[in-house]
Structure 1
Amino acid sequence: MKRVAPLIVALVLSVLLALVAYRVAVHYATFPVADSPAAPDASPTGRPPPLTREEMESPEAPLSPEQAQAADALERARPIQAAVDAFYVAEGTWPRNLAQLGLGNPDSHAGGPVAAISVRPDGEVAVAMKPHVARGGEIRLVPTVLADGSLDWACRARNYPAATRLPECR
């Protein structure tokens, strides 16, 4: 009975290490996006090759899994973009945050590749990506006020190359 304590300590440590390894594996896992074709990687680096000019200009260009995630993130941000647009047209000022639009908090819009969506004081909609998608990656929808008072939106990406390959985010 005197030798049982080291065995229990070893068992507890091995369980803790297994839990840490599982958490790390889940955190860095990339999940397939629904409705996107699974294409084998053609490049030795594991990244898809860049699109040719014809593929970029083609409206039916196939999206890589990374681009599909970026497109999903943009689609998740569209309702917030529309709310900011409507708020600006009605009030003539930018909303300070999501709560002012009645849309909850940034984390309530997490899902798929998106960690959070927020509204900045200048009306910009910021989509933060999950670390396993793009560490530090962000898509920004930036409004510009036109002469007639309506808004024109531009898509900008930071630390997220897959978004810059989307037609609407160049």
Structure 2
Amino acid sequence: MRSPAYIVVALVVVVLFSLVAYRVSVHFATLPAEGEPAASAAAQQADAATATEAPPPPPAQAEALDAIERSAAVRSAVEGYFADRGDWPQSLAQLGLGVPGDHAGGPVAGITVQTQGVVSISLKPHVARGGVIRLTPTPTADGGFDWQCRASNYPAATRLPTCR
């Protein structure tokens, strides 16, 4: 029977050989073919696009964006209600969307609809104690809607360019 040391040495040699083979294959895969430019225009454009992408928002602002995104279904229902009736809904019940807690999740404790179709997003205490984001709809000439965002007791939301 062979000593365990021989088996360990054999395994180390196999692993080293595999790493060298992988490194060589990666090196040759990145070399341009003969007669081709060193970097293609598509690769340069992809690098430029990556360099200009905005960094992700800080976690608190990401939660604010998540809260606003979670209100999309309610905002869409408000828009549809106004388009059909020419008047703003005053509550979730008028939209057939249940109760505020039905829309809880992530940073959102609940979503309500107030007068003039204002969508009010209440935040969970661990996100912002007493924090509220209010989205106010305004019909546009082309039949769409602009949503103005205001926040209270939630500094992270007020740092968003779309919500002051």
Q: After TM superposition, is the score higher than 0.5? A: yes
- Deviation by residue 1:38-91 (Cα, 9 ceiling, x = unmatched): xxxxxxxxxxxxxxxxxxxx8623211111111110110111111101110111
Return the alpha-carbon distance in structure 2 between the equivalents of residues 102 and 167 of structure 1: 32
* TM-score, length-scaled by structure 1: 0.62
Output the amino acid matched with 1:110: A
Given that 1:89 and 1:150 are in contact with CA atoms closer than 8 Å, whether structure 2 keeps it comes out as: no
Q: Which residue of 2 aligns with 1:144?
A: 138
Equivalent position of 1:108 in the other structure:
102
Report the number of matched residues.
113
Q: Which runs of 5+ in 1 are unaligned?
A: 1-57
Structure 2 unpaired stretches of 5+: 1-51
> What is the CA–CA distance in structure 2 between the aligned matches of 1:91 and 1:82, rounded to whole Å?
14
Q: Which residue of 2 aligns with 1:65?
A: 59
1:151, CA displacement in angstroms?
A: 2.6
Aligned ranges 1:10-159 → 2 under 5 Å? 60-147=54-141, 150-159=144-153
In our comparison, the structure showing a higher alpha carbon Rg is 2
Structure with the larger RCO, 1 or 2 (CA within 8 Å, 6+ apart): 1
Normalised by the size of structure 2, how large is the TM-score? 0.64
CA–CA separation in structure 1 for the residues paired with 2:150 and 2:53: 20
Q: Percent identity?
A: 58
The secondary structure found in structure 2 opposite 1:140 is: strand
